[in-house]
Chains A and B, each alone.
Chain A
């Protein structure tokens, strides 16, 4: 028996797909901003902060990097309510994404900070700058310039990983796919189309990030 692929049966559900697509895009943008903020704070704490903070941040980074995202998500959505913190599906999805990207970007940004030559720090010190001023004006920009490509690819990885939030019924693109295939029973077609949508999203995100990089870091 040969199976005929029927993509036309997806058309009535275009609005569901669009809704999911927008959710995934917003989720990615918000968690990128939040994750980089967390990562910057974490990296600054590890390199410029007080000593006692270092092992705490290091533990956060290692725990997140060495456990699956889906387990982190389940822990936040199912586990935290038992400890008194109750979150909606959407809030849990956003929180899990920020926590996850935050850990990876802490590590990436820290590597960037550590790659700034010691002489630059001494030059800044000689100009009477405080530690915070040195971090902000001399170190961070240089560090970000260096690690921007690594950060950009991590953002894409996290975006693709976000498909998992459908498992707690956050209404992202994958959730839309699950919904549609449960209605029209065309699982393969639906997942193929949605996979290609993700691919387009990844390609677009890469282009956008490259563009942003060109604007913030003009060729030095």
Chain B
């Protein structure tokens, strides 16, 4: 059974339909890379998975929980779905460790020593053990994004959503973040990434989804798709990226 199931999801902003019936199945341990031009609906789709956006029709479920419209449901869902944003969105008034510990403390009501252990563990996982007491403003963009990943991991999510997490970074900082994500993938974490890093999508992804004009235009294992795109649109898109 798939972990994340997206069935015929539709979504409009006003009169513009951005998702025109999207269906994707994500299995446990999958690393799904969603690519496509801006405006193809890929970020909107990702934000629908944890209820940041509502959708008009269709069905999304994560680990058997329906992403319905009731609030209680959404909270259960979000405990299991982590998200990392393009703009990091770290809380500036909290240190790196405090950012990581906040949700385990207030949402899961974990004890102080458990949250501390969680912070230690997750910050070590992203290679920032020495920055626990730094404030976001004292960290580089790459470091901030790694803290944001640690913050999401501290909730022990079943699936991690990554929304263009390297797009706001200076080029020299991109690889340190990608390395962290790659390690998560090899540890068996289920990942859904919206990304512009084509090489990463090809080498780390287990599944590639190409979105075009609000629909899944092509999907499949990344390496063969990159080698021989099935549609002229994907071929053109891959060509454009190089």
Q: Which residues of A contact B (CB under 8 A)?
A: 117, 119-120, 122-130, 133, 137-138, 141-142, 145, 217, 220
Assuming the contacts A125-B52, A220-B92, asked whether A137 and B85 have C-beta atoms less than 8 A apart, the reply is no
The distance in angstroms between the C-alpha atoms of A127 and B82, with both chains bound, is 7
What are 22 A-to-B residue pairs whose CB atoms are below 8 Å? A120-B89, A123-B85, A123-B89, A123-B90, A125-B52, A125-B78, A126-B50, A126-B81, A126-B82, A126-B152, A127-B103, A127-B107, A127-B151, A127-B152, A128-B77, A128-B79, A129-B106, A137-B106, A138-B91, A142-B93, A220-B136, A220-B137
Chain A residues with CB below 8 A from B155, complex form = 127-128
CA distance A128 to B91 in the complex (A): 15
Report the minimal beta-carbon distance from B110 to chain A, rounded to whole angstroms: 13
Q: Are B151 and A119 in contact (CB under 8 A)?
A: no
Q: Mark B51-64, 1 if CB is under 8 A from A, else 0.
A: 11000000000000
CB closest residue in chain B, given A217: B93
Q: Judge whether A127 and B102 touch: CB under 8 Å.
A: yes
The residues of B that contact A137 with a CB separation of less than 8 Å are 102, 106
Q: Count A-B pairs with CB separation below 8 Å.
A: 69
Contact present for A119 and B89 (CB under 8 Å): yes
CA distance A217 to B135 in the complex (A): 12
Known: A126-B81, A220-B135. A117 touches B89 (CB 8 A): yes
B contact residues vs A (CB 8 Å cutoff): 50-52, 75-79, 81-83, 85, 87, 89-94, 102-103, 106-107, 135-137, 148, 151-152, 155
Which residues on A sit within 8 Å (CB–CB) of B52?
A: 122, 125-126
Q: Could you tell me the distance between the alpha carbons of A119 and B148 in the complex, rounded to whole angstroms?
A: 12
Point out which of B89, B107, B155 has the most chain A C-beta atoms below 10 A from its C-beta: B89
In the assembled complex, the Cα of A220 lies from the Cα of B137 at a distance in Å of 7
Are A128 and B93 in touch, CB under 8 angstroms? no
Contact partners of A142 in chain B: CB under 8 A: 91-93
Are B93 and A145 within 8 A (Cβ)? Answer: yes
Q: Distance (Å) between the CB of B26 and the closest chain A CB?
A: 17
8 Å CB contact of B75 from A117, A128, A217: A128
A117, A119, A123, A220: the one within 8 Å of B93 (CB)? A220
Complex Cα gap A127–B52 (Å): 11
What residues on B are CB-neighbors of A122 within 8 Å? 52, 83, 85, 89
A125 to B161, CA, bound (A): 14
CA distance A119 to B83 in the complex (A): 12
Residues of B within 8 A of A125 (CB): 51-52, 78
Q: Complex formed: what's the CA distance from A7 to B103 in Å? A: 62
Nearest-neighbour CB distance to chain B for A143, whole angstroms, equals 9
Nearest opposing residue in chain B for A131, CB measure: B71
Contact status of A127 and B89, CB under 8 A, knowing A137-B106, A220-B135: no
